[in-house]
Chains A and B, each alone.
Chain A
Amino acid sequence: MADTIFAVSSGQPPAAIAVIRVSGPAAFGTAERLGGRLPEPRRASLRTLKDGAGAVLDSALILCFPGPATATGEDLVELHCHGGRAVVAAVENALAEQPGVRRAEPGEFTRRALLNGRIDLAEAEGLADLLEAQTERQRRAAIHAVEGRVSQAVRGWMDQLAALSAMIEAMLDFAEEDDVPLDGAAVTRIKSEMHALAIAMLEVVERPPVDRLHDGIRVVLAGPPNSGKSTLLNLLVEREAAIVSPIAGTTRDRIEASVLRGGVAYILTDTAGLAEDTADVIEAIGVTRAQEAILQADILVWMADTPPPRADAIWLHSRADLPGREELPEGRRLAVRRDDDASVAGVWGVIAETAAALLPREDAIGFKRHQQEQCRRAAHALLAAPGADILLMAEELRVARQALAEVLGVSATETMLDALFGRFCLGK
């Protein structure tokens, strides 16, 4: 009956650990396709998650809870992944590609729990307050979106979609009228405009989400003790006039500094050295925190002589001013010399370049993940339309219109009808 839904249930990434919940009849099958054989019910087990093409996404803890004795009353799987944005996004995308599986709508887990009798009314009272806040937030967000650049962009696309739909619908519903173009050339033109619109939409939509702009990009410096992390942090920070607020913890905890550079906010984190074995309890805590910081990093600057724990790390050759370390070994992006300002500037250059790929462009539009998803759906529908059958073109245009209508909160049909009757002189 119901389809299977998923959502991050542990708050928004980045975080040390992100818990993704999958609920519904296809939950177990989906987890099995991503992570292989499932552990016993209610037992956590480490699995390597892979996407459909076999690419490794993450190594994660999997827990299975057979329905109906679960939070939602359905079969439920929890994936405890590493909490970096990229990891979470990759796992989410792999889930969304599974048949019968989709991203949950806001409040949908709660709704299923209610329907399946998994929440009693006393609990529901408490949830109502939460929902109220959520609804209010959503409403405010919607108002912002309506006034904002997101809606401007989506509205622009919707106008184009409505115009294209109007042409097709005029051919379908008003073919008898002399105001309606009927030739094959018109159909070909509509088809190519659908394609161009989809490409334009994807180009904007595939830019990263906007929230990094607000928090700042997390740059984490990590490596073994005495690899030159603190020195580099100082060099990176001291050469910038605009230090916002250096926050120091204990020397053995991590140190953070906010820096504004080129109009972009960064949070630089120096971590405790990753000593393998330590008997010192406080140092052990420091190491754990460092490992968390590595997972949370948007950009990891790796200072060790062993390969980095993340493939996307910037691997530096540190202390190149020391004797015996003049050569740049294979795999390293840059060498850093304490006595060479240019080498430090080079590090900033690589950081800024990596950040640019993470950040929306300056003229970019601040899409929320949900909006992004709908726009993507619209674009893919437009690309899926076959060339000649205008009925099927109309069907894909309808799917695309419906997706954008949900972002804008308008009626997909009425918008098209407005375009139809505004453009053609129809009716007798």
Chain B
Amino acid sequence: MFDVVVIGGGHAGTEAAAAAARRGARTALLSFDRHGLGAMSCNPAIGGLGKGHIVREVDAFDGLMGRAADQGAIHYRMLNRSKGTAVQGPRVQADRQRYAAAIQAMLAAQPNLAIVEGEAEALVLDGDHVAGVQLGDGTILPTRAVVLATGTFLGGRLFRGEERHLGGRIGERSATRMAEQLRSLGLPMARMKTGTPPRLNGRTIDWAKLDEQPSDTDPWTMSPMTAARPLPQIACAITRTTEETHAIIAAAFHRSPLFTGAIEANGPRYCPSIEDKIKRFADRNSHQIFLEPEGLDDPLVYPNGLSTSLPTDVQEAMIASMPGLERAVITLPGYAVEYDHIDPRALDGRLALGALTGVFCAGQINGTTGYEEAAGQGLIAGLNAAAYACDLSPVILDRASSYLGVMIDDLVLQGVTEPYRMLTARAEYRLSLRADNAETRLGGIAEAAGCLSPERLAHRRRRQEQQATLRERLGVVRTASDLARAGATIAQDGARRTAYEWLRFDGVTLAHVAPDAGQDCDAAMLAETLEDARYAPYVERQAEEVARLRADEQIVLSSKLDYAAIPGLSQEMIDRLSMARPATLAAASRIRGITPAALSAVLLYARKVAA
């Protein structure tokens, strides 16, 4: 008997299994192949804007992704380095094999976790509860909770020109029977599309012709638990599409399943196929292509920007038309994949299915895209599956706390029309949700959930002490003339402020107000505190908004409310409320098109029903 069975060994599944096990749940991770655990099926990069934030948040819960990324990283780049830290995104390129090896090693070392090879054929149900998972060979794994993290394997179909295959990744199977069962249970399901570019043999690329992009030299890491970067750092290269490339692609539009109608599902706008870019932006005559090495001792190169489902012969011609790639050999042609997902409005803030008790969902099955988005959902689904199975308190994050909270709130309230990707623009509290303060924001919640290792707890204590010391040192009062003497150019209005308050003014630096404050402090901790000071006025303004949000979060709405019976609601409101089943009045207010008067009507009705 297991507490939690996780189906799928990608970024969502591995993170879910590890999280459930960290909370003490007896956990099984079920996958076709144990050597495929932690595979990066698309680009060899982890992090970026919004995404890097999520990696740090997962890491604050002692998740796997940040530490594994450091173990595999062969190229570090802090995006938006010249802008405010709120929009700086840490990104690494990871050696594909070393990344997967790091994940597999962490899973092997995780107590309470068993890895089971096999195909999950069906959920075993007891009424509206899940009771187990049936494998392809007929074995049944009895369990209290299940996390579905099936990625693109649920009803997966691959497209390349005129070719069609069944599967979630090229050369692998697809979870057809599970897809059929979920549809037969009446869950709201739809299709999404994604794609991947051809892989090139790096030995056949003329690197000397191309511009290099070197790795960052300063030694930051994805996880603060990584003492130092273990691997040597290598450069990427940049090439461009040419007018010839565009002509080759345009001439083959009629052979792309995207345009022939073969693929009906929506793909992500922010990750378009090259043929889509060329069709939609016909006025552009060149696009940048990043050539990213897939590993230190692996010759494979990932041409970032060339996702395509054109036939192999067109892919070959198109590659040969780009500088440096004239003789490049395609090792594995690109393809598109169409797969089943669940309308995430069927889930609640724990990522639990409302209709099937004990079933949690994470990753592409919820209509998202991206490793980081998947890992984040895996973490939350795993923590909550363990909570459900072992009677612990759930972990529900709100929009003010984290990108994880923003993502889950967006998914379960608004649903998806294209694969959901995190963007910093989605976070209304962006100024306070920074990649560098994830531990400060979430450490307390993670500690309360009991999912931190002794090493992480010790690290957290050290941070808390340093933070307190720093804030105390910055409490020292300085006058405008003190600052002038220290060399700051500010108005001489005789004002007295604490060092912390002075730091919000343009042109005032730590050297002007408290030059020694940073002594014996971690550089990252110091940078975080300075950034807090700089944006404090904006964060304070948002704090009012947050307080109101959290007050309305206290008003709970039953998941069984009959919205159609509420007088005065329009049909559109009824549909949206019924699909999303908001857990609180605050959640209801965030659903698009719900007016204040409608909220009052909902509240009145809810009170009446409860009485």
Within 8 A of B (CB), among A371-428: 389-392, 394-395, 398, 402, 409-411, 413, 416-417, 420-421, 425-428
B601 adjacent to A135 (CB under 8 Å): yes
A1 adjacent to B608 (CB under 8 Å): no
Decide: A107 near B597, CB < 8 A? Known: A139-B570, A172-B424, A389-B84.
Answer: yes
Q: Which among B538, B569, B595 has the highest number of chain A CB atoms within 10 Å?
A: B595
Q: Which among B547, B567, B596 has the highest number of chain A CB atoms within 10 Å?
A: B596
Interface segment among A76-84, A124-132, A298-306, A349-357: the answer is A124-132
A395 adjacent to B607 (CB under 8 Å): no
Interchain nearest-CB distance for A413 vs B (Å): 6
B50 adjacent to A132 (CB under 8 Å): no
A111 adjacent to B607 (CB under 8 Å): no
A421 adjacent to B567 (CB under 8 Å): no
A135 adjacent to B569 (CB under 8 Å): yes
5 contacts between A and B (CB under 8 A): A2-B548, A132-B568, A136-B568, A395-B430, A427-B269
Interchain nearest-CB distance for A36 vs B (Å): 27
Interface of A: prevailing SS? helix
Write the residues of chain B forming the contact surface with A, with a CB cutoff of 8 angstroms. 43, 49-50, 79-80, 83-84, 86-87, 268-272, 277, 280-281, 284, 287-288, 290, 304-305, 307, 414, 423-426, 428, 430-431, 538, 544, 547-548, 551, 555, 567-570, 592-593, 595-601, 603-605, 607-608, 611
Interchain nearest-CB distance for B534 vs A (Å): 9
Task: Given contacts A128-B604, A391-B87, A421-B269, list 14 more A-B pairs with CB under 8 A.
Answer: A2-B548, A3-B544, A106-B596, A107-B596, A108-B596, A114-B603, A127-B604, A131-B597, A132-B601, A165-B425, A169-B425, A411-B592, A417-B423, A425-B281
Q: Which residues of A contact B544 (CB under 8 A)?
A: 3, 100
**Please, how many residues of chain A have a CB less than 8 angstroms from a CB on the other chain?**
57
Report Cα–Cα, A4/B288, bound state, in Å. Answer: 53
Q: Which residues of B contact A138 (CB under 8 A)?
A: 595, 597
Q: Which residues of B contact A411 (CB under 8 A)?
A: 414, 592
Could you give, for residues 162-188 of chain A, a 1 whenever the CB lies within 8 Å of some chain B CB and a 0 otherwise? 000100010011111111000000000
A114 adjacent to B607 (CB under 8 Å): yes
Q: Which of A106, A173, A178 contacts B49 (CB 8 A)?
A: A173
A391 adjacent to B84 (CB under 8 Å): yes
Report Cα–Cα, A391/B234, bound state, in Å. Answer: 31
Q: Which among B304, B538, B598 has the highest number of chain A CB atoms within 10 Å?
A: B598
Q: Which of A173, A417, A425 contacts B50 (CB 8 A)?
A: A173
Q: Is A142 an interface residue (CB 8 A)?
A: yes
Within 8 A of B (CB), among A106-127: 106-108, 110-111, 114-115, 121, 124-125, 127
Q: Is A9 an interface residue (CB 8 A)?
A: no
Decide: A416 near B425, CB < 8 A? Known: A132-B568, A421-B270, A427-B268.
Answer: yes
Q: Which residues of A contact B424 (CB under 8 A)?
A: 172-173
B538 adjacent to A395 (CB under 8 Å): yes
B307 adjacent to A425 (CB under 8 Å): no
Report Cα–Cα, A106/B601, bound state, in Å. Answer: 11
Report Cα–Cα, A172/B88, bound state, in Å. Answer: 9
Q: Which of B86, B281, B593, B607 contacts A124 (CB 8 A)?
A: B607
Report Cα–Cα, A392/B604, bound state, in Å. Answer: 39
Q: Which residues of A contact B79 (CB under 8 A)?
A: 175-176
Decide: A139 near B592, CB < 8 A? Known: A172-B425, A416-B425.
Answer: no
Interchain nearest-CB distance for A425 vs B (Å): 4
B271 adjacent to A427 (CB under 8 Å): yes
Q: Which residues of B contact A139 (CB under 8 A)?
A: 568, 570, 595
A428 adjacent to B284 (CB under 8 Å): no
Q: Which residue of A lies closest to B86 (CB)?
A: A391
Q: Which residue of A lies closest to B80 (CB)?
A: A175
A106 adjacent to B425 (CB under 8 Å): no
Report Cα–Cα, A136/B601, bound state, in Å. Answer: 11
Interchain nearest-CB distance for B412 vs A (Å): 15
Decide: A426 near B567, CB < 8 A? Known: A138-B595, A172-B49, A172-B83.
Answer: no
Q: Which of A100, A395, A409, A427 contacts B270 (CB 8 A)?
A: A427
A135 adjacent to B84 (CB under 8 Å): no
Write the residues of chain A forming the contact surface with B, with a CB cutoff of 8 angstroms. 1-3, 100, 105-108, 110-111, 114-115, 121, 124-125, 127-129, 131-136, 138-139, 142, 165, 169, 172-179, 389-392, 394-395, 398, 402, 409-411, 413, 416-417, 420-421, 425-428
Decide: A428 near B305, CB < 8 A? Known: A391-B83, A391-B84.
Answer: yes
Q: Which of A111, A132, A428 contacts B290 (CB 8 A)?
A: A428
Report Cα–Cα, A265/B538, bound state, in Å. Answer: 48
Q: Which residues of B contact A420 (CB under 8 A)?
A: 425
Rank and list the top 8 A-B pairs by shortest CB-CB distance, nearest first: A107-B600, A135-B568, A105-B596, A132-B568, A427-B270, A428-B305, A132-B567, A391-B84
Report Cα–Cα, A114/B606, bound state, in Å. Answer: 11
Q: Which of B268, B271, B547 contacts A1 (CB 8 A)?
A: B547
A173 adjacent to B423 (CB under 8 Å): yes
Report Cα–Cα, A303/B395, bound state, in Å. Answer: 73
Q: Which residues of A contact B430 (CB under 8 A)?
A: 391, 394-395
B284 adjacent to A425 (CB under 8 Å): yes
Q: Which of B304, B425, B592 contacts A428 (CB 8 A)?
A: B304
Q: Which residues of B contact A427 (CB under 8 A)?
A: 268-272
Q: Which residues of B contact A172 (CB under 8 A)?
A: 49, 80, 83, 87, 424-425
Q: Which residues of B contact A410 (CB under 8 A)?
A: 592
A114 adjacent to B84 (CB under 8 Å): no
Report Cα–Cα, A134/B598, bound state, in Å. Answer: 9
B83 adjacent to A390 (CB under 8 Å): yes
Q: Which residues of B contact A108 (CB under 8 A)?
A: 596, 600
B611 adjacent to A121 (CB under 8 Å): yes
Q: Which residue of B lies closest to A109 (CB)?
A: B600
Report Cα–Cα, A417/B593, bound state, in Å. Answer: 18
Report Cα–Cα, A177/B287, bound state, in Å. Answer: 9
A115 adjacent to B555 (CB under 8 Å): yes
Report Cα–Cα, A111/B600, bound state, in Å. Answer: 6
Decide: A114 near B604, CB < 8 A? Known: A391-B431, A425-B287.
Answer: yes
Q: Which residues of A contact B425 (CB under 8 A)?
A: 165, 169, 172-173, 394, 398, 413, 416-417, 420
Q: Which residues of A contact B281 (CB under 8 A)?
A: 425
Q: Which residue of A lies closest to B82 (CB)?
A: A175
Q: Which residues of A contact B80 (CB under 8 A)?
A: 172, 175
Interchain nearest-CB distance for B31 vs A (Å): 28
Q: Which residues of A contact B570 (CB under 8 A)?
A: 139
Interchain nearest-CB distance for A182 vs B (Å): 9
Q: Which residue of B lies closest to A426 (CB)?
A: B270
Interchain nearest-CB distance for B278 vs A (Å): 9
A395 adjacent to B431 (CB under 8 Å): yes
Q: Which residue of B lies closest to A134 (CB)?
A: B597
Interchain nearest-CB distance for B250 vs A (Å): 15
A1 adjacent to B551 (CB under 8 Å): yes
Decide: A428 near B271, CB < 8 A? Known: A108-B596, A124-B604.
Answer: yes
Interchain nearest-CB distance for A424 vs B (Å): 9
Q: Which residues of A contact B307 (CB under 8 A)?
A: 428
B84 adjacent to A128 (CB under 8 Å): no
Interchain nearest-CB distance for A259 vs B (Å): 37
Report Cα–Cα, A174/B284, bound state, in Å. Answer: 17
Report Cα–Cα, A124/B608, bound state, in Å. Answer: 8
Report Cα–Cα, A178/B288, bound state, in Å. Answer: 7
Decide: A110 near B592, CB < 8 A? Known: A135-B569, A169-B425, A426-B270.
Answer: no
